[in-house]
């Protein structure tokens, strides 16, 4: 009981009753969380000793980063924009030029987004209460690291890293931004717009005269260390996740519709291994009918 009392404030932060102190535009419409849901989640966490937490884009909306699929406020609901496809990026010089031009303009805002109460709660459940063995995130925003979480597996990579497709050299995205600013001194690199991957809309004229980055070691093609749509999660990372799931005793999913199979298969593995699984997400998820606890909040 003592442990549950300590956990209660953190569970309330995971399930805020309202957003009266915020003014974000990317949070879907939802009913206030019920106290019974708070109690159920508290019990779920209290009964866990090695909890694996899987997070999706829904936990970053309160940091000012939109998700893809939420009704009315998600990227797909607000525009016809589709993220760059992996094969397109590899084969098309024009696609790479367009991607880097948009990313250059969107980076200053995207990179300065800060963790919110959920990221802090996940960190505290890990570092203060020793409940969390691993955090697996589908997000590329590195907000878990900014919050201070340890043992984080970034399932789809990170927008903060860049790699060369030709010689495998690695760069900080901040260093690449400096290079882009030098290559494009007349292009303004600010925007009020933001997307889950840092992409923004800019005029065809800017794209046409934009100079993309290149590898300083071999002159090759640079790509963010992100699993683009149509690409596969690296095998070694998949194995790290599988091992982490097996070593855990329960799984808590936060802010993911589990539409992408790389996240959904984590739930399937946990259930196959008889782990307790809970999902907290506004709206439906792919796993609603198979998990032990679903809280729509």
| Binding-site positions for Zn(2+) | 164, 167, 215, 218
- In our burial notation (b when 16+ CB lie closer than 10 A, e otherwise), range 270-294 reads bbeeebbbbbbbbeebbbeeebeeb
Which of 80, 86, 121, 92 is CA-nearest to residue 255? 121
Spatial contact of 135 and 152, defined as CB atoms under 8 Å apart:
yes
* Residue 255 three-state SS: coil
> What tokens appear for 5 in the block?
């009392």
Question: Is there a catalytic annotation at residue 156?
Answer: yes
- Of the residues 19, 129, 144, 156, which is catalytic? 156
Residue numbers belonging to the annotated binding site: 164, 167, 215, 218
Spatial contact of 130 and 3, defined as CB atoms under 8 Å apart:
no
H helix runs in 33-191, sequence order: 35-46, 75-78, 86-91, 93-111, 117-127, 143-147, 173-183
- Catalytic residues, by residue number, are 156
């Amino acid at each position: 009981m003592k442990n549950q009392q300590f956990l209660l404030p953190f569970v309330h932060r995971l399930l805020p009753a309202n957003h009266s102190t915020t003014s974000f535009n990317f949070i879907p419409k939802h009913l206030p969380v019920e106290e019974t849901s708070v109690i159920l989640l508290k019990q779920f966490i209290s009964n866990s000793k090695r909890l694996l937490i899987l997070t999706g884009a829904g936990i970053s909306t309160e940091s000012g980063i939109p998700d893809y699929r939420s009704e009315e406020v998600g990227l797909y609901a607000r525009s016809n924009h589709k993220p760059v496809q992996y094969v397109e990026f590899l084969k098309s010089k024009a696609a790479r030029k367009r991607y880097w031009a948009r990313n250059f303009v969107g980076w200053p805002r995207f990179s300065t987004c800060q963790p919110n109460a959920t990221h802090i709660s996940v960190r505290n459940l890990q570092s203060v209460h020793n409940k969390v063995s691993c955090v697996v995130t589908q997000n590329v925003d590195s907000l878990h690291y900014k919050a201070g979480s340890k043992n984080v597996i970034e399932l789809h990579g990170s927008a903060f890293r860049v790699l060369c497709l030709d010689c495998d050299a690695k760069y900080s995205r901040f260093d690449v931004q400096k290079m882009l600013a030098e290559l494009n001194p007349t292009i303004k690199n600010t925007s009020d717009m933001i997307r889950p991957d840092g992409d923004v809309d800019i005029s065809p004229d800017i794209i046409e005269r934009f100079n993309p980055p290149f590898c300083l070691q071999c002159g090759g093609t640079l790509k963010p260390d992100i699993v683009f749509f149509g690409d596969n999660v690296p095998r070694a990372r998949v194995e790290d996740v599988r091992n982490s799931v097996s070593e855990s005793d329960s799984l808590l999913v936060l802010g993911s519709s589990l539409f992408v199979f790389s996240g959904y298969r984590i739930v399937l593995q946990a259930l196959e291994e008889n782990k307790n699984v809970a999902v907290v997400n506004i709206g439906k998820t792919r796993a609603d009918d198979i998990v032990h606890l679903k809280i729509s909040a």
